[in-house]
Amino acid sequence: MSQISAALGLRSGGGRLHEWLRGVPPPNWTRRPNAKDDLRLQAVALREAGLSYREIRERIPVSKSSLSLWLRDIPVSEEHREAIRQRGLESFVTRAETNRALGARRRADTQEVARAQVPDVAESELFVAGVVAYWAEGVKNKPWRSGEGVRFMNSDPAMIRLFLAWARLIGVSDDRLVFRVQIHESGDVAAAVRFWADVVGVPCDAVRTTLKRHNPKTVRKNTADDYHGCLCVYVRRSADLNLSIAGWFEGIAEGAVRIMGGDTVAEQRSGVV
């Protein structure tokens, strides 16, 4: 503007010049360089090559709002749109698989740290663990059904092994143990028998089976190759043992109450404080 005024000999014609030049863009050489011009040119080239905003931002450190401003007038062909959509789906699947793998690794690490915190188990600890496990999963006497023998059923091999170790600890001989697999008739019965026979260390012919009738209306999720049904362990001549387990559990529970500083049921009944 000052150069034009000097060339025309205008001393105070700034207002007049503004009026004359209204709507006339200044030449490019008069514009100050923009620090993001190079980034904008890169973004335009990548968009024309068919990249999505997310893919461009992975290559260029710029905000999405800037991209939207720079690229809003850049046409994207239908072929490029479909390619962007396919890459987005593939990226989603890859991220999901990565997240699942990371989650599995984190869970495994957490479990391994916790397992290492229990390097050895004393007999007293096994006794308590077995009593509590049976009270949670085993068959118990009811007011309307007394005289029950000891029966323990579970689908977790570790729980079965714990129960057997506990049973031997309290003096249950192997000849008193009876094993029976309970499995849906749609499952692989022979494979389940082999699996549980290996878990408990007996021949396959020592494991009996009970088939559960398959209901087509029921949507079951335990249908994979690792479905082996449940193993029920019976202890012969064990009605008195079942009563003892009830007493042991009551003693353990009352001991826990004492640790917490409360009064046991027995103390409340007798009035002892």
Q: What is the pLDDT of residues 53-104, one digit of tens each?
A: 888 888 888 888 888 888 888 888 888 888 888 888 888 888 888 899 899 9
In a domain, residue 80? The reply is no
Q: What is the pTM of this model?
A: 0.62
* Stronger pLDDT, 5 or 165, i.e. the higher one: 165
In a domain, residue 176? The reply is yes
pLDDT digit string, tens, across residues 145-159: 889 999 999 999 999
Say yes or no to pLDDT of 28 above 70. Answer: no
What is the per-residue pLDDT for 273? 45
* CA-to-CA dists, residue 181 to 145, 168, 195, angstroms: 24, 21, 10
In a domain, residue 149? The reply is yes
State the maximum Cα–Cα separation within the chain, in Å, rounded to a whole number.
Answer: 124
Predicted confidence band of residue 221 (pLDDT cuts 50, 70, 90): low
Predicted confidence band of residue 264 (pLDDT cuts 50, 70, 90): low
Regarding whether 257 and 127 lie in a shared domain, the answer is: yes
In a domain, residue 168? The reply is yes
What is the per-residue pLDDT for 217? 63
Which strand ranges, in their side-by-side order, compose the sheet holding 177-184?
150-154, 230-235, 177-184, 207-212
Regarding whether 132 and 256 lie in a shared domain, the answer is: yes
CA–CA separation, 70 and 251 (whole Å): 76
* Stronger pLDDT, 108 or 220, i.e. the higher one: 108
Regarding whether 132 and 7 lie in a shared domain, the answer is: no
Amino acid 170 reads I
For the segment 173-198, the average pLDDT, to the nearest whole number, is 94
In a domain, residue 172? The reply is yes
What is the per-residue pLDDT for 223? 61
In a domain, residue 41? The reply is no
In a domain, residue 66? The reply is no
Predicted confidence band of residue 109 (pLDDT cuts 50, 70, 90): very high
Number of domains the chain contains: 2
Query: What average pLDDT is seen over the chain?
Result: 85
Which domain does 9 fall in, by range? 1-29
